[in-house]
Amino acid sequence: MFRNALEPWHILVVVLVVVVLFGSKKLPDTARALGKSMRILKSEAKAMKDEGGTEAGTVVTPAPAPAATVTTANNVTPTTPVNPVDSPR
């Protein structure tokens, strides 16, 4: 059904449509921007892969929130700090 679906003249038509739509002056800038984006994406993917490989098998837990100090009406601070993370849900 799709044998020889992409002929050389299909590619020529696609290139012609792209040149007509974007113009020949903007194509180098567009290609340069696409190349920069691909390099950034590649470096970020590599960084994520390297970061994930060094911490294999470890579970990352968030740091505990700092304890909030509550003052009463006569400016007396309680002896036990109140942690907003431990509130009931």
pLDDT tens for 30-51 read: 889 999 999 999 999 999 998 8
**Cβ proximity of 48 and 36 under 8 Å:** no
In a domain, 5, yes or no: yes
Angle at 86 (CA atoms; ends 81, 89), nearest 5 degrees? 145
pTM of the model: 0.40
Look at the chain and report how many structural domains it folds into.
1
**Domain extent for 13:** 1-53
In a domain, 81, yes or no: no
In a domain, 72, yes or no: no
In a domain, 59, yes or no: no
Average pLDDT over residues 53-61: 55
In a domain, 85, yes or no: no
Average pLDDT over residues 56-80: 58
In a domain, 89, yes or no: no
Asked whether residue 27 carries a pLDDT value surpassing 60, the answer given is yes
